[in-house]
Amino acid sequence: MTPAQREALNARLHWGLALLALWLVLTSPWVSLLRRLPSGAGFFDYAHVAAGWLALLAGAVYVVTVGQGGRWRAFYPWAAGAGGAIVSDLGGILRGQVPAADGPGLYGAIKGRLLLALLATALTGAGWSLAQGSDAALSLRELHQGAVKVLLVTGAAHVLAVASHLLELLRD
């Protein structure tokens, strides 16, 4: 796969995952999954499970493709020994500067945390699906709901970071 093909795939995966996550969150009030799929499960129950499995598959592919060629360092600067870039970006925010959109730093760390939250959410949902009917299903459901909360907060931070970059572009 050429770098241009990989970037095109990443762009499609990014938007596909964003739409899947948004749909899963927005339709979750109509999902009634506790220990197992209920006997009278409806469209939203089955669609939630199917979309969750799709999100797991797409998320795993996305994590691999965006991290190739050492690019994982931009998503996980703390793991690459570049935690100082995050601290520098935080100091820049206090001085009214918008952090860089690419490379290691605060924005990269937000993207990396969002990917981890997405995978944690999808993995705990998949675990629930596989453990249906057992006591473990209830524990996995609880973990899944916690992962969703982290996903929502980090997703909001991601959207705010993108918006700050768009505002910065409009100012220039």
Q: What is the pLDDT of residues 114-172, one digit of tens each?
A: 999 999 999 999 999 999 999 999 999 999 999 999 999 999 999 999 999 888 888 86
pLDDT at 21 over 80: yes
Between CA 133 and CA 37 the distance in angstroms is 9
Between CA 145 and CA 140 the distance in angstroms is 9
Half-sphere exposure of residue 8: CA atoms within 13 angstroms, side-chain side: 5
pLDDT (mean) for 14-40? 93
What mean pLDDT, rounded, does the chain reach? 93
Token output for 100: 């860089």
Token output for 123: 């993995």
pLDDT at 78 over 80: yes
> Structural domain tally of the chain?
1
Q: How far from chain centre, in Å, is Cα 98?
A: 22
pLDDT (mean) for 47-63? 97
Between CA 90 and CA 84 the distance in angstroms is 10
> What residues make up the domain containing 91?
3-171
Please list, residue by residue across 74-90, b when 16 or more beta carbons sit within 10 angstroms of its beta carbon and e when fewer do: bbbbeeeebeebbebbe
Check residue 75 and give its pLDDT: 93
pLDDT (mean) for 19-28? 96
SS (H, E, C) 89-128: HHHHHHCCCCCCCCCCCHHHHHHHHHHHHHHHHHHHHHHH
Between CA 64 and CA 35 the distance in angstroms is 32
- At residue 121, what is the residue type? T
Check residue 154 and give its pLDDT: 98
The closest of 112, 103, 102, 118 to 165, measured between CA atoms, is 102
